[in-house]
Amino acid sequence: MKKVLVLGAGQLARMMDLAGAPLGMDVKAFDVRTNNVVLPIDPEHIYGDLNQGIAECDVITAEFEHVAHNTLATCEASGKLLPSSEAIKIGGDRRLEKSLLDSCNIANAKYVVIQNKADFDSAITSLQLPIIFKSALEGYDGKGQWRLKDVEQADTIWQEMSVFINNASSSIPQGIIAEQMVPFDREVSIIGARNSKGEMAAYPLTENHHTNGILSVSVVTSVDKKLQQQAFEVFSKLAEKLNYTGVLAIEFFQVGEQLLVNEIAPRVHNSGHWTQQGADTCQFENHLRAICGLPLGSTQLIRPTAMVNIIGEDDIPEEIFTIPTVALHWYDKEKRTGRKMGHINLCGQTELELAERLVRISSLLNKESFPDLSEFAENLL
């Protein structure tokens, strides 16, 4: 029985644990956060002691990229960490991520790195407004971001950002990336896996919609072959450059026929949760297969599928179970505004059937917590 240790004990570790059980894998998590939040993974599957966890496992992986560098170094020294600490660090620092994209000649939004007021002023002149400022470290779910639409907002934004730069809790210098706002047509992502033999497989592109900076809905339908190929090329270039092992997610802005990389995540990803019901093998299983040296499972789409995030809500009407294919996934977390509490997967044999089911489920869900899903349904028709 392969023993896997996951750095981070949130819902992604929990879903790896759930996917690993039928494969006879023993997945345990190590909580890398210092605060004592309620842990969604089974408490028996949590290690209190990192060194014991490292000694007892066969493979170490991560469910998120903001892991202290000394923890990554300790794990890497054991020779068991996959993907590498380099890949995890790049995903956790937008400056490293941007340099990697540039070094691979991969299209991404125009940007400037900011450390001080002079950089900030020159970013405003060298990039066109609107500009989005993103903290280089620790950002997720749209946190640590400022949007500058008008030069008149510049002073206010700089004041907030400079407090942020000076208050950095991390030992690594906090910085900001100023990025040109991309007038995208759609946001899409590719979730791919590469195993230790270098074999690669990727799921069909997923279309993603955000509400208040947080992913709210992902939809996967028939695939545009050219776009899929473009995304796969980016995936394979990055995965090979990093000698990557595991699941790697890449978020894109689609402008016309061109894909620009927004960011990468060196792990299983929220926009891949649909694979639990919509693909031959789910992303969690494929991540485990990749890091345990097994052949990858088929990434083929079974049927059109949507994933709806449950954000800041812990009460879902039971009537949703009357809709065929509905699959509810709770993370067992304490309710908090803006917190990802669970998700619902929903499929259809055809796009029309998925659209009908989206309309039906939307009429049952609380309007204050969920976007109007009939809008997404219309796009499928």
Out of 26, 42, 58, 141, name the contact with ligand ATP by CB under 6 A. Answer: 141
Out of 63, 187, 207, 285, name the contact with ligand ATP by CB under 6 A. Answer: 187
Nearer to ligand ATP, 271 or 362 (CB): 271
Out of 186, 210, 303, 339, name the contact with ligand ATP by CB under 6 A. Answer: 210
Q: Coil, strand or helix: which one is 109?
A: coil
Please provide residue 372's backbone torsions phi and psi, each rounded to the nearest 5 degrees.
-75, 105
Which helix (H) or strand (E) element contains residue 82?
Answer: none
Nearer to ligand ATP, 40 or 53 (CB): 40
Confirm or reject binding of residue 107 to ligand ATP (CB under 6 A): no
Which parts of 259-278 interact with ligand ATP (CB under 6 A)?
A: 262-263
Residue type, 65: E
Q: Which stretch binds ligand ATP (CB under 6 A): 2-10, 138-146, 216-224, 231-239?
A: 138-146
Confirm or reject binding of residue 132 to ligand ATP (CB under 6 A): yes
Q: Closest by alpha carbon to 189, among 292, 272, 121? A: 272
**DSSP state, residue 296:** P
Q: Closest by alpha carbon to 251, among 237, 240, 266? A: 266
Query: Which string of DSSP letters, residue by residue, matches 309-346?
Result: EEES-----GGGGGSTT-EEEE------TT-EEEEEEE
List residues forming the annotated binding site for ATP.
94, 134, 139-145, 179-182, 187, 210, 262-263
Nearer to Mg ion, 36 or 169 (CB): 169
Q: Which residues pair with 215 in a beta bridge?
A: 210
Closest contact distance (angstroms) between CB of 273 and ligand ATP is 13
Out of 213, 280, 331, 364, name the contact with ligand ATP by CB under 6 A. Answer: 213
Closest contact distance (angstroms) between CB of 187 and ligand ATP is 5
List residues forming the annotated binding site.
94, 134, 139-145, 179-182, 187, 210, 262-263
Q: Which stretch binds ligand ATP (CB under 6 A): 117-125, 132-140, 156-164, 284-292?
A: 132-140
Give the largest CA-CA distance in the chain. Answer: 61
Out of 46, 68, 119, 139, name the contact with ligand ATP by CB under 6 A. Answer: 139
Confirm or reject binding of residue 93 to ligand ATP (CB under 6 A): no
Strand locations in the chain (E):
3-7, 26-30, 46-47, 59-62, 111-114, 131-135, 145-148, 176-180, 186-194, 200-202, 206-211, 214-220, 246-255, 258-265, 305-311, 327-330, 340-347
Residue 182 near which of ligand ATP, Mg ion, none (CB within 5-8 Å, type-dependent): ligand ATP
Confirm or reject binding of residue 312 to ligand ATP (CB under 6 A): no
Q: Closest by alpha carbon to 278, among 356, 379, 354? A: 354
Q: Are 174 and 165 in contact (CB under 8 A)?
A: yes
Confirm or reject binding of residue 293 to ligand ATP (CB under 6 A): no
Q: Are 32 and 55 in contact (CB under 8 A)?
A: no
Closest contact distance (angstroms) between CB of 65 and ligand ATP is 9
Q: Coil, strand or helix: which one is 177?
A: strand
- Contacts with ligand ATP by CB under 6 A lie at 109, 132, 134, 139-143, 179, 181-182, 187, 210, 213, 251, 262-263
- Contacts with Mg ion by CB under 5 A lie at 251, 263
